Amino acid sequence: MTQEVANALWAAIKLGRMTQEDAQKALLSSDELQINLYDFNWMEASGELALACQLDLTVYDAAYLFLSEKLNAQLITADDKMYKKAKGSFKVLHLKDYV
């Protein structure tokens, strides 16, 4: 997860949207956000892959659905494709209906 955030910041630097200095500051201050990170084991990754194949989603999107189900939490998304494919089987809410 931390690599995903760092990679997104790297892309922003490459696109000229932010400086490397600002990206470094953003990463270093991320601890203050108190975001819980979840690591998946290989068995759970297998479940994510199965879910991705079942719903025709990326494994990344399936991981969010998998985690929301594991935590018995509602997933709020702005991803129309994911929402449409998951709404019948998962506790998922579209951001436009949340705000």
Q: Domain residues of the chain, as ranges? A: 2-33, 42-98
Residues 56-82 as b or e (16 or more Cβ within 10 Å = b) = ebeeebbbbbbebbeeeeebbbebeeb
pLDDT of residue 2: 78
3-state SS assignment for residue 99: coil
pTM here is 0.70
Size (the chain), residues = 99
- Whether the CB-CB separation of 98 and 76 falls below 8 Å is answered with yes
pLDDT of residue 1: 64
3-state SS assignment for residue 76: strand
CATH of domain 42-98: 3.40.50.1010
pLDDT exceeds 90 at position 30: no
pLDDT of residue 56: 96
